[in-house]
Amino acid sequence: MGGSQTRPYGSDRIECEHKMPPKKSYLTNAPLAAKRLRLRRALLNWFRKNARDLPWRWSRDIYAVWVSEIMLQQTRVETVVPYFERFMRRFPTVKHLALAREDELLRVWQGLGYYTRARNLQRAAQIIFDERNGAFPQTVEEWSQIPGVGRYTAGAIASIALGIRAPVLDGNVKRVLARLFSIRDALENAQVRKRLWEMAGDLVPPKYPGDFNQAMMELGARICTPKRPLCTECPVRKVCEALEQGYVEELPTRTQRKKIPHYEVVAAVIRKNGRYLLGKRPSGGMLGGLWEFPGGKVERGENHEQALIRELREEMGIEIEVGPYLVMVEHTYSHFRITLHVYECRHRSGTPRPEYHQEIKWILPSRLEDYPLPAADLKFLDLL
């Protein structure tokens, strides 16, 4: 994470050729006051000179900070920026968001993923607008009761928008702390996670807590990166224990990840009288509220044609004839990945009905962009 006066380093990384020294017990030792003060000062000075100019940054508008923090959950800053700007233009106040139609909300969110965030955001807006008369929560505890807001998000909103001394602990902050304080145990461990929250809370200064929390996250995103950290550019390298002992890139310790399951999926593009057949997914499930071309997983022993015929019969109560193969789409979700095979199909018999879907429509090609679609479907939409 940074340089050292006693250990040489290259232009952008530390080369470690020796074994990690014996583990020391960080769990029973709070950060020293001198180190804490030095770290705060160096990090805040660096942040004020080098922080990225983001559309929600420097704002004390609680609504804007809240929206940005929800969008930033599990999503890169670079991805969020255009979505945030479009969202704020369309829903500039909590009232606009509370009264929006779900289709309209999901259409603006389309492509950002993790759609539960959007639905929780609207549920929370309705609570704030209807039950709280438009008054936003003013404490970490109150924010923690809002749908879609966990401990991290509550701390971020409270510190950035309200100036409350509250910690944050996302992936970037965990990595920074693991290196600063030589944490060798897996960060998924419950006791380690508890201690990380304590460390984060101890480090947050009473003055400028929001700037400090943003600085910690910014440091992890830009300097103290998972691979090849830019230690020579790190503003807190002089207090980094991992750098001092020479094992920056070995931390944080990672648990072995489970293999992500893969599924073969088929979808039917059915056109009739110049319109495409789409179904709206149930609001409560995955990708809830989005419209999709019908289809589903290929079961064991099925070929693509058999799977499509079965799925359309089960989902919509219709019989189809499977036609030409259109395209293959690879897509990764948070816990699995799919290979989507898209076929042009012909409607043979039966009246489409919502056996699985919340609603079914025949939609003109010119109107498809008015309906929020899953990212996998968006990847082949241009072919139509």
Q: Where are the domains of the chain?
A: 26-250, 262-381
pLDDT of residue 17: 35
The whole-model pTM stands at 0.84
For the question of residue 85 being annotated catalytic, the response is no
**Residue 384 binned pLDDT confidence (cut-offs 50, 70, 90):** confident
pLDDT reading at 336 higher than 80: yes
Q: Are 312 and 294 in contact (CB under 8 A)?
A: yes
Token pair 């996670």 in the structure block, residue: 193
From 15, 69, 141, 250, active-site residue? 69
Tokens (6 digits) for 3? 């340089």
Question: In whole angstroms, how far apart are CA 263 and each of 2, 279, 296, 356?
Answer: 43, 21, 10, 20
Q: How far apart are the first and last CA of the chain?
A: 49
Please state the rounded mean pLDDT for residues 278-292: 92
Measured between alpha carbons, how far is 175 from 190 in angstroms, rounded to an integer? 16
Measured between alpha carbons, how far is 220 from 77 in angstroms, rounded to an integer? 12
Fold of 262-381: Nucleoside Triphosphate Pyrophosphohydrolase (3.90.79)
> What sign does the CA torsion over 146, 148, 150, 156 have?
negative
Please state the rounded mean pLDDT for residues 369-382: 92
Tokens (6 digits) for 13? 């990384």
> What sign does the CA torsion over 130, 132, 137, 141 have?
negative
Q: Are 240 and 234 in contact (CB under 8 A)?
A: yes
Assess whether the region 26-250 and the region 262-381 belong to the same CATH fold.
Answer: no
Please state the rounded mean pLDDT for residues 239-267: 91
pLDDT of residue 3: 37
Number of neighbours of residue 83 by Cβ within 10 angstroms: 18
Q: Are 158 and 166 in contact (CB under 8 A)?
A: yes
Strand partners, 362: 277
Q: Long-range contacts: 74-77, Cβ < 8 Å, 24+? A: 74/113, 74/114, 74/334, 75/112, 75/113, 75/114, 77/52, 77/221
pLDDT reading at 1 higher than 70: no
Q: Are 212 and 43 in contact (CB under 8 A)?
A: yes
Residue range 26-250 forms a domain whose CATH class is mainly alpha
